[in-house]
């Protein structure tokens, strides 16, 4: 909040330059704070805002579906709204420009002259090219750069099949910043209760339109509909409409619709990347992404089909680890606990403190502590003492049971599905600990594939969200670039198409910077876990690569050997020829067998071709022998089989089953 | 008057501040006296160098010797005849090449140089991993055979350009050339293949190069390039008291321009970095014929010491010929790690050692030729501990001529070498 005061005083200065000293103490609501510092939550510019809005809605939808162990089905639609349509939406009449010179994009006479001249020149060149029969390039129509006022608006709709929201909670869930259901110590995608609210604040700032929510919970016979916006100054919801409607299809889930300013052109690829990577890490979800605009050629529809119905377990909420708490947190736990005495408090509010350890800890705290003392009566000093002891004492590491990693199977599926690599290896590390928070690193490394560029392609995931920005500083990028010697694994860092996937899950991901965009490289625990996970994958790949190279060597051996026959026979023959000359002129004497050879060389009985043929025969023989040996060594080996997932059809039970001892063949009619 | 005195004192003060330790210097005559006594004692102590045979190692170690052109030719010819027999009998062909890998090297403390052990590898034509090298070896053999017939010298570069397509890279043809001389049991110079001139010499030396008398005091500032064919060098004469071996070109130029060899009679040699074969042969020849002490001026970093060791004990790459290439008993004059503090070399002229430097330094500490000299071990330990290095040029912070006017004379006066 420090950044707050300077802008405040600055504003005061510009507005009332004379009354400089008079500064008024003001209160700021959280909503106001985030509205002014929306970049903290990833709402930097219209394009990024569109991206972040999509992202927050998708992640909420996934969390919601996973919370009830439902295979997620998510539809996200971005609808472009042109200015005139937008104006009519809000009931604003389109006005013609009267005073042209008033506008920023007004073209002065001089500028027009220049532009016309340029266009004329371009046309001339084009004409010339056409005359010369060159292929005329579609001359890029000089796009008039958008003026300041030319904003684009988008309606973003996200529909899921998740838990839905209780009717009465909806206003608070959307209209109150920093209120949420995900505050516990639990691995979730969202954390701060900010995402959807920020989208709402942004829509209020850029379009002034409210957010629309429809939701229904399982077994609920009605559908909640709510249209609301947020009172930024008071951080409370401002409800336009909140009613129950019929739920004919027994649908459960939520549909959220918000109209915001954005920029599809510049963030198109980021949004698509995000969806694609999300599909990699959540192959059990089905995504339907649509972009709709008036220009049909710009429209995009992508369906990311479900590839498995194996879902990672729902992460469970866990208790705090003693080495991760601070004084404030201890106080809060004391205030909230239902336990009476210190002994019970220690045992029940923290993980890894059993009864014997609790006794020892209390004994160590000092004489003024006792197991039976009332926990609510602890003084501030005593709490500090407890905190100090927690930091110094040794506790068992928290277990990773509360975490829900994507799983090697899912990661592998995702990689295969999205990249179609030649080879892939995955590895899932065991749980490790950073500052009392358990984390698990999973990694996948792939080689080859379609649409993969040469060199390293890094895909980062934190708590199963793709991270797209700030790649340079991220621990994964740095590790892959600097700390892995790819050469050792027979992988060429610049030539091969390498995909590196690293997914980190934790009850608390130590994001760097403001937005949830990257994990810093300064945490040695995470850095070493990432490194070893990638290395494990590489080791698996190496044996595959070596095998491949051997196989290739088998195929190419004959060619590679034969390539050198001319050079070798030439070299030998040249010396022989010289020797034959001096033998003939009797300059030198040679032994019986040697003299015989030299005589044959002189008589052209042994020529370059003789050597060539002999060597060729030899190479063929060797090649045959080695191929035979290779075949007997390797034998007929099969690749390990992989499970495949066949999407079930929406059959109505109209089928025959053919049973066999090992399979069932189902024929749908 | 008093003021004048003061100023003069201030002058001399500032002078000694900018060139510390100048006041410690004795007169040149006194220093010369010291040097003369050293030289006379060292030249009397040199005895005939030991050979592998003296140590009964000739069976387990490999060494090459200078062979005449005709015997090189006949060795190649008998080898080629063997190959021909093999090929004609349908077995392909293969070479047996002495291994020059580091596991096949041995440091012999009695000889104070690295020698090659007797391990050999078979290089068959019909194997995918060796087919290329085998072909190159055959090619080089046939090229050397031609050189023998025509009795001419060519450079390594010439050799490479005879078949760029096959050799691909000069490194490959150079490496095979060493293999070939190893295989034939002769020195590389006997193959009539030479490297381009790299080393230079200046100072109190007169010798004949291919019949022409060269006076190295009259070779201008640059000095005389060391001739690549050592067999054409002879008739060495000198009135020098020592040989100064300099690592770098820059320091060499400084000393040559200041005509350091006229103030203290000496011969100054540099190979501009890693020494080539010609410079090493030349140094060896000077040492053997003139019986002068050799003092080395190298950078205070692991590579400086490494270069020193190449002159002294030989390189692993050419250990098969270490008998001809190494010069025993080279003294480390400077710049030694302990000099950095001793001569108060300012912090800004010292460089922090990189991780690679430190690793090289630690590796050197494991080498036998370093271990045998406790003084060197101490210095190297100091370097690794302080993690600082300095080049010879660091002395220029006291003025460009500090090296020739203060540092070297003082070192010589104190006989400060290891």
A-interface mutation test, from B81, B90, B124, B165, most A Cβ less than 10 A away? B81
Q: What is the pLDDT of residue A156?
A: 92
A270 annotated ligand-binding residue: no
d(CA A223, CA B179): 86
Can you list the domains of chain A with their CATH numbers? 30-88+150-304 (3.30.565.10), 327-392 (1.10.8.50), 416-628 (3.30.230.10)
User: Can you tell me the mean pLDDT for B250-270?
Assistant: 90
Q: Which residue of A has its CA nearest to B94?
A: A568
**Angular region, A283: left φ>0, alpha ψ -120 to 50, beta rest:** alpha
B297, B390 in Cβ contact below 8 A? no
The answer to whether residue A575 neighbours chain B at the CB level (below 8 Å) is: yes
* DSSP, residue by residue, A198-215: HHHHHHHHHT-PPEEEEE
Q: How does residue A176 score in pLDDT terms, banded at 50, 70 and 90?
A: confident
Q: What is the pLDDT of residue A38?
A: 81
Q: pLDDT, tens digit, for every residue of B308-329?
A: 989 988 888 888 888 888 888 8
Q: pLDDT, tens digit, for every residue of B61-108?
A: 888 888 888 899 999 999 999 999 899 888 889 999 998 888 888 888
Q: Which residues contact B2 (CB under 8 A, 6 or more apart)?
A: none
B97, B121 in Cβ contact below 8 A? yes
Q: What is the pLDDT of residue A140?
A: 45
Q: Which residues partner with A239 through β-bridges?
A: A228
User: Can you tell me the mean pLDDT for A581-605?
Assistant: 83
A377, A409 in Cβ contact below 8 A? no
* DSSP, residue by residue, B13-63: HHHHHHSTTGGG---HHHHHHHHHHHHHHHHHH--PPP-TGGGT-TTTEE-
pLDDT at A146 over 60: no
The answer to whether residue A560 neighbours chain B at the CB level (below 8 Å) is: yes
pLDDT at B9 over 70: no
Point out the catalytic residue in the list B107, B161, B320, B407. Answer: B161
User: Can you tell me the mean pLDDT for A72-82?
Assistant: 91
- From B85, B128, B149, residue closest to A561, measured CB to CB: B128
- Look-up of token digits 């001089």: A110
- From B80, B91, B149, residue closest to A572, measured CB to CB: B80
B166, A567 in Cβ contact below 8 A? yes
Nearest to B321 by CA among B66, B70, B58: B66
Q: What is the dihedral of CA A445, A446, A450, A451, to 10 degrees?
A: 20
Taking CB atoms and an 8 Å limit, are B87 and A553 in contact across chains? no
Question: Residues, chain A, total?
Answer: 669
User: Can you tell me the mean pLDDT for A118-128?
Assistant: 85
pLDDT above 70 coverage of chain B, percent: 94
Q: What is the pLDDT of residue B318?
A: 87
Q: pLDDT, tens digit, for every residue of B326-376?
A: 888 889 998 899 888 888 888 888 888 888 888 889 888 888 888 888 888
Nearest to B87 by CA among A620, A574, A572, A602: A572
Q: What is the pLDDT of residue A99?
A: 75
| Residues from chain B contacting residue A597 (CB–CB below 8 Å) | 81, 84-85, 88
- From A557, A593, A611, residue closest to B87, measured CB to CB: A611
| Inter-chain Cβ pairs, chain A and chain B, closer than 8 A | 89
The answer to whether residue A580 neighbours chain B at the CB level (below 8 Å) is: no
Q: Tell which wins on pLDDT, B43 or A263.
A: A263
Q: What is the pLDDT of residue B8?
A: 44
Taking CB atoms and an 8 Å limit, are A572 and B142 in contact across chains? yes
Any idea which of A206-220, A534-548, B13-27, B175-189 has the lowest mean pLDDT?
B13-27
- From B90, B141, B142, residue closest to A614, measured CB to CB: B90
Q: Tell which wins on pLDDT, A57 or A7.
A: A57
Q: What is the pLDDT of residue A514?
A: 66
pLDDT at A500 over 50: yes
Q: Which residues of B touch A (CB under 8 A)?
A: 74, 76-78, 80-81, 83-85, 87-88, 90-93, 125-126, 128, 131-132, 134-135, 138-139, 141-142, 145-146, 149, 163, 166
Q: How does residue A20 score in pLDDT terms, banded at 50, 70 and 90?
A: low
Q: What is the pLDDT of residue B201?
A: 92
Q: Which residues contact A359 (CB under 8 A, 6 or more apart)?
A: A343, A371
The answer to whether residue A572 neighbours chain B at the CB level (below 8 Å) is: yes
User: Can you tell me the mean pLDDT for B236-247?
Assistant: 91
CATH topology of domain B61-194: Arc Repressor Mutant, subunit A (1.10.10)
Taking CB atoms and an 8 Å limit, are A568 and B88 in contact across chains? no
B-interface mutation test, from A572, A583, A588, A621, most B Cβ less than 10 A away? A572
d(CA A522, CA B71): 66
Taking CB atoms and an 8 Å limit, are A575 and B87 in contact across chains? no
Any idea which of A105-109, A132-136, A274-278, A413-417 has the lowest mean pLDDT?
A132-136
Q: How does residue A443 score in pLDDT terms, banded at 50, 70 and 90?
A: very high
Taking CB atoms and an 8 Å limit, are B125 and A611 in contact across chains? no
User: Can you tell me the mean pLDDT for B207-220?
Assistant: 89
Q: What is the pLDDT of residue B7?
A: 46
The most confident of the ranges A183-192, A224-233, A586-595 is A224-233
User: Can you tell me the mean pLDDT for A551-574?
Assistant: 88
pLDDT above 70 coverage of chain A, percent: 88
The C-alpha R_g of chain A, in whole angstroms, comes to 35
A-interface mutation test, from B87, B91, B95, B139, most A Cβ less than 10 A away? B87
Q: What is the pLDDT of residue B222?
A: 85
Q: What is the pLDDT of residue B298?
A: 92
User: Can you tell me the mean pLDDT for B131-150?
Assistant: 92
Any idea which of A66-70, A128-132, A530-534, A606-610 has the lowest mean pLDDT?
A128-132
User: Can you tell me the mean pLDDT for A465-485?
Assistant: 88
| Residues from chain B contacting residue A569 (CB–CB below 8 Å) | 87
Q: How does residue A21 score in pLDDT terms, banded at 50, 70 and 90?
A: low
CB-count exposure of residue B355 (10 Å: 0-12, 13-18, 19+): exposed
pLDDT at B2 over 50: no
Q: What is the pLDDT of residue A14?
A: 45
Q: pLDDT, tens digit, for every residue of A208-244?
A: 888 899 989 888 888 899 998 888 888 888 888 888 8
Q: How does residue A192 score in pLDDT terms, banded at 50, 70 and 90?
A: low
- Look-up of token digits 């959280």: A30
- Look-up of token digits 């005593």: A382
Catalytic residue flag (residue B161): yes
Q: What is the pLDDT of residue A143?
A: 44
pLDDT at B377 over 60: yes
User: Can you tell me the mean pLDDT for B242-263?
Assistant: 90
The C-alpha R_g of chain B, in whole angstroms, comes to 24
The answer, yes or no, to whether the previous bond of A63 is cis (omega within 30 of 0) is no
Q: Which regions of A20-99 does DSSP assign to beta strands (E)? A: 73-81
The pLDDT mean for chain B works out to 86
Q: How does residue A649 score in pLDDT terms, banded at 50, 70 and 90?
A: low
pLDDT above 90 coverage of chain B, percent: 22
- From B84, B128, B135, residue closest to A553, measured CB to CB: B128
Q: What is the pLDDT of residue A666?
A: 73
Domain B197-413 has CATH 3.40.1360.10: yes
A192 annotated ligand-binding residue: yes
pLDDT at B59 over 60: yes
The answer to whether residue A370 neighbours chain B at the CB level (below 8 Å) is: no
Q: How does residue B160 score in pLDDT terms, banded at 50, 70 and 90?
A: very high
Taking CB atoms and an 8 Å limit, are A564 and B125 in contact across chains? yes
Nearest to A254 by CA among A470, A8, A57: A57
- From A578, A590, A594, residue closest to B145, measured CB to CB: A578
pLDDT above 90 coverage of chain A, percent: 13
Taking CB atoms and an 8 Å limit, are B149 and A572 in contact across chains? no
pLDDT at A455 over 80: yes
Tell me the binding residues of B: 247, 299
pLDDT at A276 over 50: yes
User: What ipTM is given for this predicted complex?
Assistant: 0.82
| Residues from chain A contacting residue B163 (CB–CB below 8 Å) | 567
Q: What is the pLDDT of residue A533?
A: 92
A253 annotated ligand-binding residue: no
Q: What is the pLDDT of residue A669?
A: 64
Q: What is the pLDDT of residue A24?
A: 77
Nearest to A72 by CA among A63, A81, A80: A63
Q: What is the dihedral of CA A200, A202, A208, A212, to 10 degrees?
A: -20
Q: How does residue A56 score in pLDDT terms, banded at 50, 70 and 90?
A: confident
Where are chain B's structural domains? 61-194, 197-413
Any idea which of A105-109, B81-85, B377-381, B390-394 has the lowest mean pLDDT?
A105-109
Map residue A408 onto helix, strand or coil.
Answer: helix
Q: What is the pLDDT of residue A89?
A: 75
Tell me the binding residues of B for Mg(2+): 247, 299
- Look-up of token digits 């988008």: A154
């Amino acid at each position: 909040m420090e950044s707050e005061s300077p802008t405040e005083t600055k504003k005061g200065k510009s507005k009332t330059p004379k009354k400089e000293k008079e500064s008024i103490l003001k209160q700021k609501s959280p909503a106001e704070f985030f509205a002014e510092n929306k970049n903290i939550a990833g709402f930097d510019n219209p394009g990024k805002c569109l991206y972040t809005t999509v992202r927050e809605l998708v992640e909420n939808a996934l969390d919601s579906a996973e919370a009830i162990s439902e295979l997620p089905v998510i539809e996200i639609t971005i609808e472009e709204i042109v200015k005139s349509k937008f104006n009519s939406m809000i009931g604003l009449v389109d006005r013609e420009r009267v005073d042209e010179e008033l506008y920023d994009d007004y073209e002065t006479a001089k500028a027009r002259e220049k532009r016309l001249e340029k266009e004329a020149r371009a046309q001339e060149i084009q004409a010339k090219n056409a005359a010369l029969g060159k292929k005329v390039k579609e001359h890029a129509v000089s796009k008039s750069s958008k003026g300041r006022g030319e904003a684009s608006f988008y309606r973003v709709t996200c529909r899921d099949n998740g838990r839905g929201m209780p009717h009465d909670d909806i206003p608070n869930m959307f209209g109150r910043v920093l209120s949420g259901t995900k505050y516990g110590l639990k691995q979730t995608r969202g954390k701060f209760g900010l995402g959807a609210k920020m989208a709402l604040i942004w829509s209020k700032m850029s379009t002034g339109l409210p957010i629309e929510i429809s939701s229904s919970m399982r077994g609920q016979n009605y559908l909640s509909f709510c249209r609301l916006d947020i009172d930024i100054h008071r951080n409370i919801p401002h409800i336009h409409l909140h009613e129950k409607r019929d739920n004919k299809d027994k649908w459960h889930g939520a549909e959220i619709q918000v109209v915001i300013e954005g920029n599809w052109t510049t963030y198109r690829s980021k949004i698509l990347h995000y969806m694609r990577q999300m599909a990699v890490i959540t192959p059990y979800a089905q995504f339907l992404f649509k972009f709709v605009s008036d220009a049909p050629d710009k429209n995009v529809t992508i369906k990311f089909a479900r590839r498995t119905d194996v879902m990672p377990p729902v992460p469970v909420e866990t208790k705090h680890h003693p080495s991760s708490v601070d004084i404030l947190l201890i106080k809060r736990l004391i205030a909230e606990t239902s336990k009476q005495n210190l002994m019970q408090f220690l045992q029940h509010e923290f993980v890894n403190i059993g009864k014997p350890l609790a006794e020892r800890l209390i004994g160590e705290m000092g004489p003024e502590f006792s197991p039976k003392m009332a926990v609510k009566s602890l003084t501030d000093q005593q709490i500090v003492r407890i905190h100090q002891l927690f930091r110094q004492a040794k506790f068992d590491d928290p277990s990773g049971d509360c975490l829900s990693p994507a799983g090697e199977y899912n990661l592998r599926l995702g990689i295969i599905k999205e990249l179609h690599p030649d080879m892939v290896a995955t590895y899932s590390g065991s749980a490790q600990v950073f500052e009392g928070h358990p984390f698990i690193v999973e990694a996948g490394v792939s080689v080859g594939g379609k649409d993969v560029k040469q060199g390293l392609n890094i895909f980062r995931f934190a708590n199963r969200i793709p991270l797209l920005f700030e790649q340079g500083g991220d621990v994964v990028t740095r590790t892959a670039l600097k700390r892995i010697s790819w050469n050792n694994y027979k992988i060429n860092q610049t030539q091969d198409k390498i995909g590196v996937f690293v997914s980190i899950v934790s009850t608390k991901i130590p994001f760097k910077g403001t937005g949830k965009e990257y994990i810093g490289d300064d945490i040695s625990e995470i850095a070493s876990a990432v490194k070893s996970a990638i290395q494990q994958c590489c080791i698996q790949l190496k044996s595959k690569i070596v095998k491949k190279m051997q196989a290739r060597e088998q195929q190419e051996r004959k060619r590679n050997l034969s390539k050198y026959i001319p050079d070798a026979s030439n070299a030998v023959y040249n010396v022989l020829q010289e020797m034959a000359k001096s033998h003939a002129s009797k300059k030198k004497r040679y032994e019986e067998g040697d003299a015989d050879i030299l005589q044959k060389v002189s008589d052209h009985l042994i020529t370059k071709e003789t050597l060539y043929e002999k060597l060729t025969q030899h190479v063929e023989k060797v090649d045959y022998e080695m191929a035979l040996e290779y075949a007997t060594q390797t034998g007929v080996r099969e690749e390990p089989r992989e499970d495949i997932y066949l999407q079930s059809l929406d059959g109505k039970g109209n089928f025959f089953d053919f049973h066999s001892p090992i399979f069932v063949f189902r024929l749908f009619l | 008057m008093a003021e004048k005195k003061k100023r003069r004192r201030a002058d001399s003060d500032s002078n000694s501040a900018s060139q510390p330790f100048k006041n410690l210097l004795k007169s040149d005559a006194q220093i010369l006296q010291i040097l003369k006594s050293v030289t006379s004692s060292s030249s009397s102590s040199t005895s005939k160098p030991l050979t592998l045979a003296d140590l009964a190692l000739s069976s387990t170690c490999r060494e090459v010797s200078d062979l005449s052109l005709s015997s090189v030719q006949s060795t190649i010819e008998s080898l080629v005849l063997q190959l021909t027999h093999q090929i004609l009998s349908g077995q392909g062909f293969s070479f047996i090449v002495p291994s020059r890998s580091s596991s096949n090297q041995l440091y012999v403390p009695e000889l104070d140089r690295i020698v090659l052990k007797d391990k050999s590898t078979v290089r068959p034509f019909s194997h995918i991993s060796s087919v290329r090298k085998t072909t190159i070896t055959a090619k080089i053999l046939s090229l050397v055979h031609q050189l023998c017939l025509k009795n001419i010298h060519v450079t390594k570069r010439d050799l490479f350009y005879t078949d760029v397509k096959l050799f691909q890279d000069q490194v490959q043809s150079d490496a095979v050339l060493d293999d070939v001389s190893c295989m034939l049991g002769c020195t590389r110079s006997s193959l009539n293949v030479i490297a381009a001139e790299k080393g230079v010499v200046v100072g109190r030396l007169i010798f004949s190069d291919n019949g022409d008398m060269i006076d190295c005091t009259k070779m201008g500032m640059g000095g005389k390039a060391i001739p690549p064919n050592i067999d054409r060098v002879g008739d060495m004469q000198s009135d020098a008291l020592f040989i100064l071996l300099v690592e770098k070109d820059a320091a060499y130029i400084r000393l040559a321009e200041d005509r350091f060899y006229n103030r203290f009679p000496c011969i100054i040699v540099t190979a501009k970095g890693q020494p080539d074969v010609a410079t090493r042969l030349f140094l060896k020849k000077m040492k053997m014929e003139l019986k002068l002490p050799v003092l080395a001026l190298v950078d205070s970093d692991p590579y400086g010491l490494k270069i020193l060791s190449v002159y002294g004990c030989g390189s692993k790459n050419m250990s098969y010929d270490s008998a001809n290439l190494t010069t025993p008993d080279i003294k480390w004059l400077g710049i030694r790690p302990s000099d950095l503090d001793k001569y108060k070399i300012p912090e800004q002229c010292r460089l922090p050692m990189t991780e690679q430097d430190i690793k090289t330094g630690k590796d050197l500490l494991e080498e036998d030729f370093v271990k045998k000299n406790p003084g060197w071990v101490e210095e190297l330990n100091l370097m690794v501990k302080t993690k600082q290095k300095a080049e010879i040029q660091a002395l220029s912070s006291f003025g460009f001529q500090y090296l020739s006017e203060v540092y070297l004379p003082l070192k010589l006066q104190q006989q400060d070498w290891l």
